[in-house]
Amino acid sequence: MPVTELNSSAATTRLSAAFQAPAARPPIWLMRQAGRYLPEYRETRAEAGSFLDLCYNPRLAVEVALQPLRRFDLDAAILFSDILVIPDGLGQPVRFDEGVGPVLMRLEDTADFAPLSLERMRAHLAPVYETVDRLRAELPRDVSLIGFSGAPWTIATYMLEGRSSREFTLGKYWAYARPEDFRVLVEILVEAVTAHLSAQVEAGADVLQLFDSWAGVLDDWGFRTWVEAPIRAIVGKLKARHPKVPVILFARGAGARFAGLAARTGVDAVALDCTVPLAWARETVQSETVIQGNLDPAILRIGGPAMERAVADILAAWASGRFIFNLGHGILPDTPPQHVAALVRQVRGA
């Protein structure tokens, strides 16, 4: 068998095809397609114990990643994991508390950066790479396997705040008041994210997505310095090692900065959040790159005619160009699964 056939990352999958030319019907996958809205997820999650126990259990993580594909005709599976396995792996332990979310012992000074270790991360995250490998073996060849990571800015906010934040007081303090110190942390994260994504490609991921969920809270200088520059560095290193693996960037809240974002960072596709105007995005963003998005997860939860209208609008605006159907943010836990089934049917044109 020729080498290229053995190497799944070189094969064309349903999603990677969208990077070459517009499809007759856009491919579809959904952020947080595996999760609490599915009763079978809640069952597996209970079996695993904690959320992170689930992330680090390859057998169960494969199971929950496959659950949405058994129910719905989706074009991709996404690795089941979390963006916060990076600090957890680097040596800043993460815990998920019921009703609170992630909890970390926050980094308070540059001295706290020193113990963070890339080598520790590689070893700690071995079960995650095993999950990718097993998922690739379980999936039909043409179904894409998306690997992912948080981007440095978004991960750093959790490392510095110690939990989810509304105002990003500490993250912004470091970003704007101590940029030279903050840069030390961001450089560690550039290396960590690159290593994490490369390991996923080597284990069988054929498309990558970077989540910079809090990109939208920074000013112009902050966005260029802490969102675009680190991502450009990561993508440059990834492309040197894995030139054929497309990278999608979800920089939530980037607004007018979605224009030209692919060129400024080197990514192959830009995921648009729910508030982006459809016609503007077609003319300014889709004309220069592949776009992904952007149904409001709240509208998916509502379903019915409201959802049909919103999906029809997105398809009318974007489906004739290079486009991957998705939500503008992750599925909400109280979404009825039958709404997801109806969404997939509508996008398929059935």
Could you give the residue numbers annotated as active site? 32, 36, 45, 82, 158
51 binding ligand CP3? (CB under 6 A): yes
Please identify which residue in 33, 265, 292, 335 interacts with ligand CP3, judged by CB under 6 A.
Answer: 33
Please identify which residue in 83, 116, 132, 291 interacts with ligand CP3, judged by CB under 6 A.
Answer: 83
Question: Which stretch, 94-102, 127-135, 169-177, 301-309, contacts ligand CP3 (CB under 6 A)?
Answer: 94-102
Pairing of strands 94-97, 76-78: unpaired
Judged by beta carbon, residue 271 or residue 310, the one nearer ligand CP3 is: 271
- Three-class SS state of 213: coil
Please identify which residue in 10, 17, 25, 36 interacts with ligand CP3, judged by CB under 6 A.
Answer: 36
271 binding ligand CP3? (CB under 6 A): no
Q: Which residue is nearest to ligand CP3 (CB)?
A: 213
Judged by beta carbon, residue 30 or residue 175, the one nearer ligand CP3 is: 30
- Three-class SS state of 148: strand
Burial (CB < 10 A; 0-12, 13-18, 19+), residue 312, is exposed
330 binding ligand CP3? (CB under 6 A): yes
Looking from the CA of 302 toward its CB, the CA atoms found within 13 Å total: 12
Please identify which residue in 61, 69, 76, 80 interacts with ligand CP3, judged by CB under 6 A.
Answer: 80
Judged by beta carbon, residue 35 or residue 171, the one nearer ligand CP3 is: 35
Q: Which residues of 45-56 are buried (b: 16+ CB within 10 A; e: fewer)?
A: beebeebbebbb
Q: Is the peptide bond before 294 cis (omega within 30 degrees of 0)?
A: yes
29 binding ligand CP3? (CB under 6 A): no
102 binding ligand CP3? (CB under 6 A): yes
* Separation between Cα atoms, residue 131 and residue 120, nearest integer Å: 18
Judged by beta carbon, residue 34 or residue 201, the one nearer ligand CP3 is: 34
Nearest approach, Cβ of residue 170 and ligand CP3 (Å)? 16
Edge-to-edge strand order for the sheet containing 290-295? 76-78, 144-150, 207-212, 247-251, 269-271, 290-295, 323-327
Per DSSP, helices labelled H in the chain are 3-6, 39-48, 51-55, 58-71, 85-90, 118-124, 126-138, 152-161, 169-172, 179-203, 220-222, 229-241, 261-265, 278-284, 297-302, 304-318, 337-348
Using CB under 6 A as the binding criterion, the count of chain residues that bind ligand CP3 stands at: 22
* Separation between Cα atoms, residue 318 and residue 216, nearest integer Å: 23
Residues numbered 186-215 forming contacts with ligand CP3, rule: CB under 6 A: 211, 213
264 binding ligand CP3? (CB under 6 A): no
- Scan for tokens 């609008």, then name that residue: 313
Question: Which stretch, 8-16, 76-84, 257-265, 298-306, contacts ligand CP3 (CB under 6 A)?
Answer: 76-84
Question: Which stretch, 10-18, 96-104, 168-176, 187-195, contacts ligand CP3 (CB under 6 A)?
Answer: 96-104
101 binding ligand CP3? (CB under 6 A): yes
Spatial neighbors of 342 by CB under 8 A, at least 6 apart, are 303, 307
Nearest approach, Cβ of residue 2 and ligand CP3 (Å)? 32
Token code pair at residue 141: 């060849």
Residue 335 vs residues 35, 100, 106, 201, 296: alpha-carbon distances, Å: 10, 20, 33, 31, 12
Residues numbered 125-184 forming contacts with ligand CP3, rule: CB under 6 A: 148, 164
Judged by beta carbon, residue 61 or residue 190, the one nearer ligand CP3 is: 61
45 binding ligand CP3? (CB under 6 A): yes
Nearest approach, Cβ of residue 120 and ligand CP3 (Å)? 21
> Which residues contact ligand CP3 by CB under 6 A?
31-36, 45, 51, 78, 80-84, 96, 101-102, 148, 164, 211, 213, 330
